[in-house]
Structure 1
Amino acid sequence: MPGLLLANIAAPLILSTTGNVFIFLSIIPVEMLIFWGFFNLVLKIGVSFPRLLIVVLVANIATSILGIPLIYNPLIAPSPVVTFLVLPISLFLSFLIESIIYTPFLKTRYNLSKLELMVASFWSNLASYTIFLFVLLPVTLNSSWFSTANPARASFELRMSIPTYLRVQQDFYVENDRFASAKDLESIGFIQIKENNFHRYETQGDQRKATITATAKSNNLSSYIAAVFVVKNKTKTAEPQFITGVCKTNNPSRQPPEMPQLINDNLQCPPNSSKELLNRF
């Protein structure tokens, strides 16, 4: 849980998305610098460095703990746009909560008003979230100013989408004797994720097979194709048998693997890719 040592509600989410320790190295010093400048240059109040360090650490650890559930929120994970919408909400909550935490440490000792503490908290958090924005933008825009996409987070989001899609396709086949097209999936209320911060998704379904490709949006991520094939039994009354598998490019690639083949009831991945175990997803 390295996010516990960072700053603000959005910090664990940003760290999980980027895997960038730049946040760890910058947020606390930046917030302390803003506080020192506000107290010493604006209010003309000399705040001791040890006390300021303790106050900033306590406040940021507290708000970071509150932000950990954002990492595992499935409503946030699928969309870069949603992730950016979370930032201003987190900024508001962070500065409000931290200003409350600062009160017992600073208000009485330095004769500060609640408004002064809120202003100091707002500017320090605004500096933090400005850094968050510049760290998150490269991942969303597929550039590499400060960071690259975090493979662990990308794998987490793949585990949410690929197995679910394969299960839905199998259930659809049992009821309809064919796999679902994209339009069919919409008609049954299955929400298809078109893309997230890490991959673009494309789905297909026909009489014999259904596939989902996850094409990497970053140069340090692998691409995937997952497929489910139906194996007909000799007796029409028997339940259909399904063979599923996931193929991953052997190296990071922005091109997904070619279509896997079903040979002797075994799924064979194409060249330059290898089979991933479904229980890893």
Structure 2
Amino acid sequence: MSATIKRTVPTPSDILARKGGTPLVCLTAYTTPIAQLVDEQCDIVLVGDSVGMVLHGLPSTLGVTMDMMVMHGQAVARGLSRSMMVVDMPFGSYEESPEQAFRNAARLMAETGCSAVKLEGGVEIAPTIRHLTARSIPVMAHIGLTPQAINTLGGYKVQGRGEDAKRILADADAVVEAGAFSVVLEKVPANLADEITARIPIPTIGIGASAGCDGQILVVDDMLGLFTAFKPKFAKRYATLGQDAATAIESYADEVRAREFPAAEHIFGDTAPEPKK
């Protein structure tokens, strides 16, 4: 007998059909509890390679490995029931050749159950996107600021200002032609993001782009205030959970040192209490 799959999630075709409609809600997630929290509200949940910075303390995304993405993808999958899961392909897992990209993308899909993978790059990576989509691997593209390329981009700078806009437009056209079903626009001027959104037939998902994009994505740890090392200009903090946690931990430590915790209600007696009648 074949297993019955209970999850009903958007497909890449469903996301593509949302072009120009109600904006897509997207967030990252890296753990089962956070996946459970975001699942009710999100159309797409991205297991981003930002996990390296926000959970593993790495200075950039460059040190993230395939094994890390598989592990976090599996954790997130356990917490989702209605959102589409996309997993980032980490640095070094797809740049060598389309064949390398296929092997690693196939592994991500097989081992995590994700619906699609995300690759960074435009014109230069279009042949790889074409190779994957021709072999039944849906691809979300990512252009503008591509964090895996910070060493060649000169840091986390806005991309596409002035004459550089032509490069970003060419990247957008290239990923569409290659078969991507959506594209993340990161840290590009709002007017350029609006131009791309109007120009291409696939949904644009903004992060530091424009409210006119077909959807928005943020790193969940940024918007919850869990990651406090720095806050990107484009991130809005909807909560201050990091500070709340620090305050709670301080209160716990104070009570332990003062022997106020555990109190009577937190400890056990020598005999079991009588059952209530």
- Structure with higher helix content: 1
**TM-score, length of structure 2 as denominator length:** 0.26
Whose radius of gyration is greater, 1 or 2?
A: 1
TM-score (norm 1): 0.25
